[in-house]
A and B are shown apart, each in its own frame.
Chain A
Amino acid sequence: MAELKSMPWDERVWKALKAAITPMPPFVRGKALKKIIAASEENSRRRDSEAVEAQDLIKAARENVRPAMLQVLLQSLAEHGVSEHL
């Protein structure tokens, strides 16, 4: 299967995303996951960061996840240590 990531991710952030996304059915998460990963990496590159960090993921989620699912996703990320306040 094609590699999803094209650059390094902070391990904690990657694990949090996996934990947040895997309760969703595959047919819901598929396109959303690729979009979030791509957007997170774009956000990271814009900051000249060497790895995707929490702020990149949160920003990507806010810009790409529809409102109905966004709060669920953000809450789940927070439970795994990734939030805007960290």
Chain B
Amino acid sequence: MSFGITSECDLKCPHCYSDSGEKDENELSTDEAKDVIRQAGELGVHLLILDGGEPTLRKDLPELVTHARDCGIRPVLGSNGMSLSLELAGKLKNAGCEAVAISLDGINVKTHDDFRGAEGAWAKAVEGARNCARVGMGFQIAPLVHRGNWTELPAVAAFAKELGAGAVELFDFVAAGRGKQHLEYELDTEQRRGVIADIIKWQRSDDIIYRVIGLPQYWPAVEREVPEDEILARFVRSCCAAGSRYITVLPNGDVIPCMVLQVKLGNIREIDLKTIWHDSPELKALRNRDLLKGKCGRCKYRYVCGGARCKAYEKTGDFLTEDPTCWFSEEEIAEGG
């Protein structure tokens, strides 16, 4: 589960799914946030990603981390790394934080700083990663993959290994939130295929874990190209988990299936999380891949890919329609499965 604990952020990234910047006046209080975490624990959530906005801007962050741990959940953080001083990294580690995902979009400093809109952002993110390593806290590098940086990904992956990251989690640009105003960053088909080919090549030889978010076509490509025993030994399938293995709570208590599939399921101040998870008609629909329409509905990979529901929703308003960015041919979707 992702829990956006604040919409306040010290950056103004063009892709921001949560359109973060200013603090929401309806932000959940400490007690409310702790109750969300308690409910998550009772629901059976085993991994809680605290993000935002920028979660390190919230003063009670260590308290929320400890509370998650005490509720039997593994707390991790999604951060821009800008405020991850050695002191804060130590506090978070002692509070129980197991790992941090740090956004880092390029090996070229300018690539990252320009995209994130702040000079010095790259250096601070890298220092944040190093501080995690210094206190013995795991971290992963999380590049947002877009038209301006996709050629730097091999160097970013190599740098992540050099820093000691445990994983690289690549996010395909999805035109949601603020991203809707910046379609110029969206990859085209050939670029997406190139990114997937690279990741497959790296995962076949690297021990670092590669995850791919927002690009579920990664998995059919893996199944088509990689021997089964190698898949089971090395590869991680991470998408699309919206509503089936994943849910998101926003800073104001709104609940959505995924940070980039922004269909409101309810608000935690009005309906408890367990009821939303078990009774939401939208989540039930998302879990039934036989309800998918168009090419996704015909595709024999629909149970392990299912298309990016977020992209279908942003284009049409219907999260069950086909993924408009899928390039698989009718022959390819008929022979797989």
**Distance of B145 from chain A, by nearest CB (Å):** 20
Chain A interface secondary structure, helix, strand, loop or mixed? Answer: helix
Question: How many Å lie between the Cα of A2 and that of B42 in the bound state?
Answer: 40
Chain B interface secondary structure, helix, strand, loop or mixed? Answer: loop
On chain A, which size bracket covers the interface?
Answer: 20 to 34
Query: Are B244 and A19 in contact, CB atoms less than 8 angstroms apart?
Result: no
Q: Which of B25-33, B152-160, B232-240 makes up part of the contact surface?
A: B232-240
Question: How many Å lie between the Cα of A22 and that of B99 in the bound state?
Answer: 21
**Inter-chain contact count A-B, CB under 8 Å?**
54
Chain A positions 32-86 with a Cβ under 8 Å from a chain B Cβ = 33, 68-69, 71-72, 76, 79-80
Other-chain contact of B232, A33, A68, A71 (Cβ < 8 Å): A33
Question: How many Å lie between the Cα of A38 and that of B125 in the bound state?
Answer: 45
Residues in A whose Cβ lies below 8 Å from that of B234: 26
Query: Are A25 and B44 in contact, CB atoms less than 8 angstroms apart?
Result: no
Residues in A whose Cβ lies below 8 Å from that of B237: 19, 22-23
In the complex, per-residue mask of B224-255: 1 if CB is within 8 Å of any chain A CB, else 0: 00011111111111100100110000000000
Query: Are B229 and A1 in contact, CB atoms less than 8 angstroms apart?
Result: yes
Other-chain contact of B230, A1, A24, A30, A76 (Cβ < 8 Å): A1
Query: Are A25 and B209 in contact, CB atoms less than 8 angstroms apart?
Result: yes
Residues in A whose Cβ lies below 8 Å from that of B228: 18
User: Chain B: which residue is nearest A16 at the CB level?
Assistant: B303
Other-chain contact of B236, A23, A30, A72 (Cβ < 8 Å): A23
> B287 at the A/B interface (Cβ < 8 Å)?
yes
Residues in B whose Cβ lies below 8 Å from that of A15: 303, 337
Query: Are A72 and B46 in contact, CB atoms less than 8 angstroms apart?
Result: yes
**Distance of B323 from chain A, by nearest CB (Å):** 18
User: Chain A: which residue is nearest B228 at the CB level?
Assistant: A18
Query: Are B233 and A30 in contact, CB atoms less than 8 angstroms apart?
Result: yes
Known: A69-B46, A76-B245, A79-B244. A26 touches B287 (CB 8 A): no
Other-chain contact of B209, A18, A26, A30, A80 (Cβ < 8 Å): A26
Residues in B whose Cβ lies below 8 Å from that of A69: 46
Query: Are B241 and A23 in contact, CB atoms less than 8 angstroms apart?
Result: yes
In the complex, per-residue mask of B293-335: 1 if CB is within 8 Å of any chain A CB, else 0: 0000000000110000000000000000000000000000000
Give the number of residues in B that approach A within 8 Å (Cβ atoms). Answer: 25
Residues in B whose Cβ lies below 8 Å from that of A30: 233
**Distance of A2 from chain B, by nearest CB (Å):** 8
Known: A72-B46, A80-B303. A23 touches B229 (CB 8 A): no
**Distance of A19 from chain B, by nearest CB (Å):** 5
Question: How many Å lie between the Cα of A15 and that of B219 in the bound state?
Answer: 13
User: Chain A: which residue is nearest B219 at the CB level?
Assistant: A22
In the complex, per-residue mask of B178-220: 1 if CB is within 8 Å of any chain A CB, else 0: 0000000000000000000000000000000100000000010
Residues in A whose Cβ lies below 8 Å from that of B46: 68-69, 72
Chain A positions 1-17 with a Cβ under 8 Å from a chain B Cβ = 1-4, 15
Question: How many Å lie between the Cα of A4 and that of B72 in the bound state?
Answer: 33
**Distance of A79 from chain B, by nearest CB (Å):** 6
Question: How many Å lie between the Cα of A1 and that of B232 in the bound state?
Answer: 11
Residues in A whose Cβ lies below 8 Å from that of B230: 1
Question: How many Å lie between the Cα of A82 and that of B318 in the bound state?
Answer: 28
Other-chain contact of B44, A2, A18, A24, A71 (Cβ < 8 Å): A71
Query: Are A18 and B232 in contact, CB atoms less than 8 angstroms apart?
Result: yes
Query: Are A4 and B236 in contact, CB atoms less than 8 angstroms apart?
Result: no
Q: Kindly list the 3 A-B residue pairs having the minimum CB-CB distance in the complex, ordered from nearest.
A: A22-B237, A1-B229, A23-B237
- Which A residues form the contact surface with B (CB < 8 A)? 1-4, 15, 18-19, 21-26, 29-30, 33, 68-69, 71-72, 76, 79-80
- Which B residues form the contact surface with A (CB < 8 A)? 44, 46, 72, 167, 209, 219, 227-238, 241, 244-245, 287, 303-304, 337
